[in-house]
Amino acid sequence: MLGAVASVQFGAALAKTLFDDLGPGGTVFLRVLFAALLLLALWRPRLAGRPRDELLLASAFGVALAGMNLSFYGALDRIPLGVAVTFEFVGPLGVAVAGSRRALDLLWVVLAAAGILLLSDFGDFGGLDSAGVGLALLAGAFWAAYILLSARTGRVFPGGSGLALAMLVASVLLLPVGVADGGDGLLQPDLLIIGVGVAMLSSAIPYSLELEALRRLPQSVFGVLMSLEPAMAALAGFVVLGQDLRARELLAIVLVVAASAGAAYGVPRSAQVDRV
């Protein structure tokens, strides 16, 4: 989980450097396409003999992936990385609340929510682009669907074959937007190389790690652990994009890290078994 969180946020920061040349649509298309090609070559999923409902599940997973990535990159083009992830986090936070079975789990959710509010200056988003905020919230809804569908896909398909199929579906869905936004830039070798790096950091590595984590962790715990995302996004924005961190944001990082540590501590060993 920690590796997935770090990889996806530094990948997002790297992706933003491509927006001037490819736009958010072209960038997300390259990211998903290269990740799909890599995963297809690695897992070589077989369609023959698969029940129709399993193929529909992989397709729904692909729709969630396409929607989550496109809406998030659209938000990232309009608002800062840390703030975008803060809004987007309502998705996994909602999964954590809905799946909670212990009173203590709710405490960690409340602590994470306090950190998010602090990071967002107590809900005062008056100076932010409204479309960016809306896209980030939409990305959060797709993120919640991604968590639930990823868990089901991991139980049905062996290894990463279900993820590979979902990424293929997502790349097909994103093709028109990618071509319209990226244009001739999609054929420039230097941009393609960066796109490969973004695909590795933002899609292939973290999604594969999360798929394995979801086989071993309850969905509620997985959702709370994702509270690290706003903190990691702020760090990636500082390191890659030069976005400064203020004292309030540093305190917010402490709160969300504490919430994540609390969620991970005391998880029953019986709940951390392979669920395939």
What's the pTM?
0.82
* For the chain, domain boundaries: 2-264
Q: Report the alpha-carbon distance of residue 241 to residue 55 in Å, rounded.
A: 39
**84 band by pLDDT with thresholds 50, 70 and 90:** confident
Q: Is the pLDDT of residue 192 over 90?
A: yes
Q: What are phi and psi of 269, to 5 degrees?
A: -60, -35
Q: Is the pLDDT of residue 261 over 70?
A: no
- 275's enclosing H/E stretch is none
pLDDT score of 48: 81
Q: Is the pLDDT of residue 138 over 80?
A: yes
Q: What is the dihedral sign for C-alpha 81, 82, 85, 87?
A: negative
Q: Is the pLDDT of residue 268 over 50?
A: no
Q: Report the alpha-carbon distance of residue 261 to residue 213 in Å, rounded.
A: 16
Q: Could you report how far apart the first and last alpha carbons of the chain are, in Å?
A: 18
Q: Report the alpha-carbon distance of residue 11 to residue 9 in Å, rounded.
A: 5
Who has greater pLDDT, 228 or 32?
32
**127 band by pLDDT with thresholds 50, 70 and 90:** low
Cα Rg for the chain, rounded, in angstroms? 18
Residue 80 and residue 169 in contact, taking contact as beta carbons nearer than 8 Å: no
Q: Which residue has the tokens 């997985």?
A: 222
Least confident segment among 25-39, 54-68, 89-103, 175-189: 89-103
Mean pLDDT, to the nearest integer, of 98-105? Answer: 69
Give me the percent of the chain exceeding a pLDDT of 70.
86
Give me the percent of the chain exceeding a pLDDT of 90.
32
**Packing angle of the helix pair 161-182, 19-43 (nearest 10 deg):** 160
pLDDT score of 269: 39
**219 band by pLDDT with thresholds 50, 70 and 90:** low
pLDDT score of 270: 36
